[in-house]
Structure 1
Amino acid sequence: MEIPLSSLSPEALLAVVDDFVLREGTDYGRHEASLESKRADVMNALKSGRARIHFDPETETVTLVPVAP
């Protein structure tokens, strides 16, 4: 089930983004990106529609999923 950004408080949205950023072992190349930079990248993807928040009621988990262009 997709969760609209507008249905989350700023604090809840940040918690979802942080959970994703800290959980995903993303390779940023030679230089590690800061937490703030990773947060900004994910927030931009969500706000631009390149990613969506998905809730799985069976496992009661939230994750971010990419959207095909």
Structure 2
Amino acid sequence: MIVPWQALEADTLDSIIEHFVLREGTDYGDQEVPLAQKAAQVKAQLARGEAVLLWSEHHETLNIVSKDQVPHV
């Protein structure tokens, strides 16, 4: 189930994004990218609709995924 990111409190959304960024360990190449910048990039992807918050009832987890990974979006 897709959770509308706009429905979350700002602090809650920021915590979810920070947890996601720290968990993902994304490779940004040779240069180090600060956590705040990575989080801002993810938040911008959510705002543009490129990424969504996806709740898994089966696993009881919330994840951020590309909208292309969700067949019915």
Greater than 4 Å deviation, 4+ residue runs: none
Matches of 1:44 and 1:6 in 2, distance apart?
A: 12
Q: Hey, what does 2:53 align to over in structure 1?
A: 53
What value does the CA root-mean-square deviation take over the aligned residues? 0.8
Once the two structures are TM-superposed, the CA of residue 22 in structure 1 deviates from its matched residue by 0.3
Once the two structures are TM-superposed, the CA of residue 25 in structure 1 deviates from its matched residue by 1.6
Q: Hey, what does 2:27 align to over in structure 1?
A: 27
Matches of 1:29 and 1:6 in 2, distance apart?
A: 31
Structure 2 gap segments, 5+ residues each: 69-73
**How many aligned residue pairs are there?**
68
TM-score between the two structures when normalised by the length of structure 2: 0.88
3-state SS of 2:47 partner = helix
Q: Hey, what does 2:11 align to over in structure 1?
A: 11
